[in-house]
């Protein structure tokens, strides 16, 4: 029988929670009160990618309206680095103007890399 146990990388979730919390001007202490856990739990989820309990996970993603597909359907991101997943989380939170800036930045980096290779 196949082993379905996987290690999920929750660093991206922690970053998404931190960003959403800070956008609202909420403290970790306030969020911890809302979900019924200690502030240290919220700090560890945000900073260390600590696995939240299922109940806390649901409360946090619902409270902050965080899409969870990237944390649950890991097959689509198989082989992706943790850094790439974290960047995806950040990109998903950006508005259209910010995405235009990021696209221009990525295009500039690509052009610079191509120039280095051809020299």
Say yes or no to pLDDT of 1 above 50.
Answer: no
Position with higher pLDDT, 12 vs 35: 35
Taking all residues of the chain, what is their mean pLDDT, rounded to a whole number? Answer: 82
Phi-psi region of 74 (alpha: psi -120 to 50; beta: other; left: phi over 0): alpha
- Is the CB of residue 82 less than 8 Å from the CB of residue 9? yes
Q: Which domains does the chain have, with CATH numbers?
A: 11-118 (1.10.260.40)
* pLDDT value for 70: 66
Q: What is the pTM of this model?
A: 0.59
* SS3 per residue for the chain: CCCCCCCCCCHHHHHHHHHHHHHHCCCHHHHHHHHCCCHHHHHHHHHHCCCCCHHHHHHHHHHHCCCCHHHHCHHHHCCCCHHHHHHHHHHHCCCHHHHHHHHHHHHHHHHHHHHHHHC
CA distance 60 to 52: 9
């Amino acid at each position: 029988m196949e082993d379905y146990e996987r290690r999920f990388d929750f660093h991206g979730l922690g970053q998404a929670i931190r960003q959403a919390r800070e956008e609202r001007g909420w403290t970790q202490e306030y969020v911890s009160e809302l979900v019924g856990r200690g502030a240290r739990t919220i700090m560890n989820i945000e900073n260390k990618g600590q696995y939240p309990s299922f109940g806390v996970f649901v409360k946090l993603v619902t409270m902050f309206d965080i899409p969870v597909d990237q944390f649950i359907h890991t097959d689509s991101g198989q082989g992706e680095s943790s850094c790439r997943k974290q960047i995806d989380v950040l990109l998903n939170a950006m508005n259209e103007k910010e995405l235009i800036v990021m696209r221009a930045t990525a295009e500039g980096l690509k052009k610079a890399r191509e120039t280095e290779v051809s020299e």
